[in-house]
Amino acid sequence: MTIEAQDEQQAATKDRLVAAAISQDVGFLLAKLHAGGSIVNNRALAEFDLKERSYSVLILANSGLEPTQRELADFLSLDPSQIVALVDELEKRKLVARAPGKQDRRAKTVTATAKGSQLLAQAAVAARHAESEVLATLDDGEILQLKALLRKALWG
Amino acid sequence: MTIEAQDEQQAATKDRLVAAAISQDVGFLLAKLHAGGSIVNNRALAEFDLKERSYSVLILANSGLEPTQRELADFLSLDPSQIVALVDELEKRKLVARAPGKQDRRAKTVTATAKGSQLLAQAAVAARHAESEVLATLDDGEILQLKALLRKALWG
DNA sequence: ACGTATAGTTGAAAATGTCAACGATTGATT
DNA sequence: AATCAATCGTTGACATTTTCAACTATACGT
């Protein structure tokens, strides 16, 4: 078989299963796009020794909202103990700092350092490129629509 | 503090971080909706001793497309070894059967048994209800739009 | 016939997720 | 003021999932 014919057959069989009913299932579509996107995102962020998780924490630490670890756990749908590990690592790299909560001294707020902000600025560029790559088949209007629908599904 | 005031404050703080830039990130929105949806889906499927994974395999096995394990792995974004475990379990429960591929005897196609089809029919009802629950804040037209956009992002 | 590539399988290692306990602190109740 | 239940971050144990490298059997081009 020639290389070209092989490629054609692969292309033909690769998406053969799209016809199945599960391709109408939002949960499945979400999982699949998320899986593919994670690979692209993590590859883009690897240059800065970040992963999706640590990148998310860094963004929130840099938001000016001074989130507590508990809030990070709730918002990122992670167990509090995972936040500890993520913040530990970012703190060790001097990208974020922990501070005791103002009203509640049990809580610790996580804020980005200047170094963290700088790194984030660079990483954000790479993340935007990754997003474009993942959503390459959508035009700008469709991307906005998709974001709006996802946000509405999450927060009404 | 009264219970009502507590609830109000919780509601106020719960989504406080939505204001952060990451709420514009498709990767994050996908991850969060997927995380929440998985919990609802798995809870709905638990009644049938299925999870999202085994449910997906069962649907594809029941599609009439006679997918091979390799195709399942590619389509579900899973490692081939995980397909082995999933099919092993479904086969043990007599919900699917393995058959040697027709042209390629290395490959094994996975097809649903009558028992598998029956169980799937019931599980699909539960899965539809779960999906409605997850997407409760979207109307029917928006759900169709969301599905169309996700499919386009995945397959163009 | 031969060498290369691929399908499924197995098992080990690494990463992630889940959960229960603990000290410190808080806020409500007495 | 003293107490009691609840919450925050942390730790460590345990389960699940992911990732990867072998291996056998089969397929395919040369």
Does residue A17 sit within a domain? no
Nearest residue of chain A to residue B133 (CA atoms): A153
Please give the nucleotide, over all strands, whose C1' is closest to the CA of residue A70. Answer: D8
- The angle formed by the CA atoms of residues A129, A134 and A138, to the nearest 5 degrees, is 105
Does residue A91 sit within a domain? yes
The range of the structural domain enclosing residue A127 comes to: 22-155
Taking an 8 Å cut-off on Cβ atoms, the answer to whether A37 and B30 are in contact is: yes
Distance between CA atoms of A99 and A85, rounded to whole angstroms? 16
Q: How far apart are the first and last CA of chain B?
A: 53
Which of A29, A59, A154 lies closest to B21 in CB terms?
A59
Q: Are B150 and A26 in contact (CB under 8 A)?
A: yes
- pLDDT in the model for residue B8: 46
The SS3 call for residue B112 is strand
Round to a whole number and report the distance in Å from the CA of A123 to the C1' of C29: 51
Q: Which amino acid is at A23?
A: S
- pLDDT in the model for residue B9: 47
Instruction: Please classify residue B142 by burial: count the beta carbons closer than 10 Å to its beta carbon, then call 0-12 exposed, 13-18 middle and 19+ buried.
Output: middle
Domain count across chain A: 1
CATH number of the CATH domain containing A73: 1.10.10.10
For residue B86, the chain A residues in CB contact (below 8 A) are: none
| Listed range (A7-11, B10-14, B119-123) with the worst mean pLDDT | A7-11
pLDDT grade for B6, boundaries at 50, 70 and 90:
very low
Nearest residue of chain A to residue B38 (CA atoms): A27
Tokens 């924490």 map to which residue?
A57
Q: Are B75 and A29 in contact (CB under 8 A)?
A: no
For residue A150, the chain B residues in CB contact (below 8 A) are: 26, 29-30, 33, 146
Does residue B14 sit within a domain? no
Output the CA–CA distances (angstroms, integers) from residue B128 to A120, B29, B35, in the order listed: 40, 21, 17
Residues touching nucleic chain C (CB < 7 Å): A 51, 53, 78-79, 81-82, 103-106; B 1, 68-70, 73, 80-81, 83-84, 87-88, 98, 101, 104, 106-108
- Token pair belonging to A71: 């809030």
Low-confidence ranges of chain A (pLDDT < 50): 1-9
Distance between CA atoms of B26 and A36, rounded to whole angstroms? 12
Q: How many CA atoms lie within 13 A of B130 on its CB side?
A: 26
Distance between CA atoms of B12 and B14, rounded to whole angstroms? 6
Across residues B52-80, what is the average pLDDT?
Answer: 97
- The string of DSSP codes covering B118-155 is HHHHHHHHHHHHHHHHHTTTS-HHHHHHHHHHHHHHHH
Does residue B5 sit within a domain? no
pTM of the entire predicted model: 0.91
DSSP B20: S
The DSSP bridge partners found for residue B51 are none
Which of B71, B127, B135 lies closest to A17 in CB terms?
B71
- The string of DSSP codes covering B32-63 is HHHHHHHHHHHHHHHTTT--HHHHHHHHHHTS
- pLDDT in the model for residue A12: 55
- Tell me the pLDDT tens digit for each residue of B92-113: 999 999 999 988 999 999 999 9
Helix A26-46 to helix A114-134 angle (10° resolution) is: 130
Does residue A95 sit within a domain? yes
Percentage of residues of chain B with pLDDT beyond 90: 88
Chain-centre distance for alpha carbon B3:
37
Instruction: Please classify residue A66 by burial: count the beta carbons closer than 10 Å to its beta carbon, then call 0-12 exposed, 13-18 middle and 19+ buried.
Output: middle
Does residue A55 sit within a domain? yes
For residue B14, the chain A residues in CB contact (below 8 A) are: 74
- Token pair belonging to B146: 């969301």
| Listed range (A1-10, A61-70, B45-54, B138-147) with the worst mean pLDDT | A1-10
Does residue B27 sit within a domain? yes
Does residue B78 sit within a domain? yes
Which of A67, A145, A105 is closest to B15 using CA atoms?
A67
Mutate to test the interface with B, among A6, A29, A133 (most CBs of B within 10 A): A29
